Structures are given as structure tokens and as C-alpha cells.
Amino acid sequence: MSAHRILRHRDIPNIASLETYRANGGFEGFRKAVAGMQPGDVLNEVKLSGLRGRGGAGFPAGVKWSFLPNNLWPHYVVANADESEPGTFKDREILESNPFQFLEGLMIASYAVQAHDSYVYLRGEFWQIAKLLDGKIAELEQAGLLGEKLFGTEYSLRLHTHLGAGAYICGEETALLESIEGFRGQPRLRPPFPAVYGLFGKPTVINNVETLANVPGIIANGSAWFREQGTEKSPGVKVFSLSGCVNKPGNYELPLGTTFRELIFNYGGGLPEGRNIKAIMPAGASSSLITADDRALDTPMDYESVAAIGSTLGSASVIVLDDSVNIAWMVNKTVEFFKHESCGKCTPCREGTYWMSHITERIVKGEAGKEDIDLLNSVARNMQGKCLCALGEFSTMAVVTGIEQFRADFEKLQRS
């Protein structure tokens, strides 16, 4: 396999040290941008690369950056390091083991939109990572890579970490902004969008950790280099978090467009002896379930192809379910998660997740009848399209697709 582009610490073990990172081309992209490129040219190169957001929605990063109006200042960039989707553990590895590449990406993004203060929002459990980043930021200040008049130009930049305190909803970008501003992490009504009214009411870019970690390579080596991997519409490599019923769970950096079969069987070592694959959840607990037939297994993992089989790639947290797993049990687990994490701001989500959890609990305990399966289905369908943010919608995905594809699993647990 070719050298890693994001998980570079696997090839260069000591890359978390500034010296090693710089000896391997680190901060060349940032220097090139600040000392030799107009902000608009940096933005354009990222646009040309076709880099899509790695946090879930797959929105083109360069296009997002270009939405910031030039008559409203200051601008902010916020890195989303909340990583809380069940099955997702890629940002954590990047932050722990290749932190400078992420920070450099954040710095280049800041230059591109001319932000002078940028923030990293970390989930509260990443306490030690926040300490680590604080140390790395201090090193960059000492090395003259952060601070005033960088590379002899007029550009100045400071980075700050902000630690959350345990709330999945803070990964949703507007809840995240509320949380930095010192409020409960509850989503804002949109419009206005963060590009215009973001952090402290100012134009703001929010990008995922992995998205930003892709940026230094694009600036240092050009967008054509970035496009060498992946597909036309989903260019580049992606870090896939593989978990569940596989022999070798872990993060795998592979070109977008790699098939599920390759990830699960070639890289992930397949399933334990005697087990067969039953279903795949490609986007963590928020997934629409995929029945793991041959067609699904041979589907390339890029944004378009996964959508074409009725699911979403999301943040590419691939959870594998084998034939020992009852789908109703799985649905109960995901619904429990969303009930716990619903911020309570809107009624359909607050009440809906409560009822779904109540019903699935009864189903797995063998206390429910056929009418309860239909009730569960109708509660989920009634929530769809009525929630203020995507969490409410996410909570219904496994329920609806689970009943659709594996109704027998629910009926099996019915009271007799």
C-alpha cells in the first residue's frame, strides 16, 4: 500500500514532534500559503481539489469557505473535534498521533478566510488531547509559526482549544457554536447560516478534524496530487473507522471508492470463524441499515455510491453486524443513544426518542406484540422531516430501515 496521507504517523512514527513533522515537509504548505499566495488562491486550490467534508455531510470544503462575506469581519474558523458518533474514532487518532498536520490544516484554512483567531472544539472526554494540543500550540508560537506578522507578512493568527463536557449534540455545528459562547449546546434555527452569522455572530467556517488534515497536502502538492486517489466526485483518501463483528477493528486509510468487501475482508480480517455478515451500518448509529448481500459488499464507499444503495457514507464509521445479532436489539441500542443525546429543544425529537426507546425496550424484553412493531415504525416515520436538527432524523434511520429489512427479527422477540 502507498504511504499514508492522513495517518502519516504509521509511516513516520515520531511525526507528533515538531522537529520530525517539519523535517517531513511540515508547515511547507502553511508557509507557501501565507508567504506566497493570495487568500483567494488558497481557497481556489482547495475548491479545485474537490475535498469534501469528512464530518458527515460531505459538503465541498472550498465552496464552504467561499461563502464568507467580505464585508463582515472578523471571520472565524472552528475545527470540529467533538467526535461522538458511535463507531467513529478517526479524529482521535489524527489528533493524538499526527496533531501538527491537523493544526496546519486549520492554520491554512484560517489564512484562506483571513481569520485571526480560530478555535478547536473538543469533546470533553478528549481532556488529555486538549492538553496535548495546548502544548503543540505553545510550541508553534515559540517557533514563530503562530502569532503576529507571520513570515514577515501582516498576517497574524492565534489558535485556542475549547473543551466540551459530554454532549453528542455539540458536534452539530450550531450547537457547537452555542457551546463555545457559553450556552447549553442546543442547535440554532437556520437561516442565518454560520457562514454569515456564526461564532459570536460573525462569519464562521466549521470543518471536521479530518477535513482540515487533508488541507496541507493540497496546498503543498497541489489539487491534482490530491485527486490521484479516490473518485471523480469523491476525491482523496478517507479514514474508515471499522468496528463491530470483525477480526481487526480499527482505522483504515483507503481511497474513497474502496468497496465494503475490501475494507471488511481484506483489511479488517473478515468475521470471526463461523460467523456470516448480516448487515452494515456505514455511518455509525445514524446509518440507514444496509443488508450485506453481494451487491452491497461490492459497492464502492464513496458518497454517491453509498447513497445509491439507500444509505449514506456519513463520517465513514462502518459498523459490521453478523448473523448472531438481532436487529431489534441493535435498534434498541441506537435509540437509547439518541434518547440520551436529544437536547430536548424540539418536541418531535424529545418525545419521539423517548417513545421509541420505551417501545424497543419492551420489544427486546419480549413484552411487545405485533402492534408495537407497527407503532414503533409509525412513531419514527412521524418524526421524519419535523425535527429542528439532523439528530432527530438520525434517530429514526436504524428504526425504519431495520423494520423494513429485518422485520422477522422483531417478530421473533414478540410475546407469545
Partner 1 sequence: MNQLLQKYPQEIQAVLARYPADRKRSAVMPLLHLAQQEPGYITKQAMLEIAEILEMPVTDIDSIVGFYTLFHEQAEGRYHVQVCTDLPCALRGADEFLRQLCENIGVKVGETTPDGMVTIEEVKCLAGCHRAPMFQVQGDGDISYHENQTVESAAALIQDLRNRKEAA
Ligand X SMILES: Cc1cc2nc3c(=O)[nH]c(=O)nc-3n(C[C@H](O)[C@H](O)[C@H](O)COP(=O)(O)O)c2cc1C
For 302-326, b/e burial (b = at least 16 CB within 10 A) is bbebbeebebbbbbbbbbbbbeebb
Q: Quote the CA–CA distance of 26 and 19 in Å, as a whole number.
A: 9
Taking CA 339 as the corner, what is the angle to CA 335 and CA 343, rounded to the nearest 5 degrees? Answer: 140
The total of other beta-carbon atoms located within 10 Å of residue 59's CB is 12
| Residue 342 near residue 353 (C-beta atoms within 8 A) | yes
The total of other beta-carbon atoms located within 10 Å of residue 16's CB is 18
Helices (H) and strands (E) in the chain, counts: 18, 9
**In the window 199-258, what residues touch partner 1 (CB under 8 A)?**
200, 241-245, 249-251
Residue from 173, 302, 341, 372 binding partner 1 (CB under 8 A)? 341
- Write down the residue that cell numbers 463507531 correspond to: 87
Q: Which does 342 bind (CB under 5 to 8 A by kind): ligand X, ligand SF4, partner 1, none?
A: ligand SF4
Q: Which does 388 bind (CB under 5 to 8 A by kind): ligand X, ligand SF4, partner 1, none?
A: ligand SF4
**Residue with Cβ nearer ligand SF4 (186 or 401):** 186
**In the window 113-142, what residues touch partner 1 (CB under 8 A)?**
123-128
Q: Which does 334 bind (CB under 5 to 8 A by kind): ligand X, partner 1, ligand SF4, none?
A: partner 1
Q: Quote the CA–CA distance of 335 and 399 in Å, as a whole number.
A: 8
Residue from 29, 50, 55, 249 binding ligand X (CB under 6 A)? 55
Residue span binding ligand X (CB under 6 A) among the ranges 51-59, 193-201, 241-249, 291-299: 51-59
Q: Does 200 bind ligand X (CB under 6 A)?
A: no
**Residue with Cβ nearer ligand SF4 (161 or 287):** 287
Q: Does 365 bind partner 1 (CB under 8 A)?
A: no
> What are the angstrom distances between the C-alpha of 214 and each of 26, 131, 272, 287, 407?
13, 23, 34, 25, 41
Q: Quote the CA–CA distance of 97 and 8 in Å, as a whole number.
A: 9
Q: Does 166 bind partner 1 (CB under 8 A)?
A: yes
Residue span binding ligand X (CB under 6 A) among the ranges 6-14, 167-175, 230-238, 245-253: 167-175
Q: Quote the CA–CA distance of 160 and 412 in Å, as a whole number.
A: 52
What is the contact surface with ligand X in residues (CB under 6 A)? 53-57, 59, 80, 82-85, 169, 171-173, 206-208, 211, 389-391
Residues engaged in binding partner 1 (CB under 8 A)? 83-89, 91-92, 123-128, 160, 162-168, 179-185, 200, 241-245, 249-251, 285, 319, 321, 325, 330, 333-334, 337, 340-341, 343
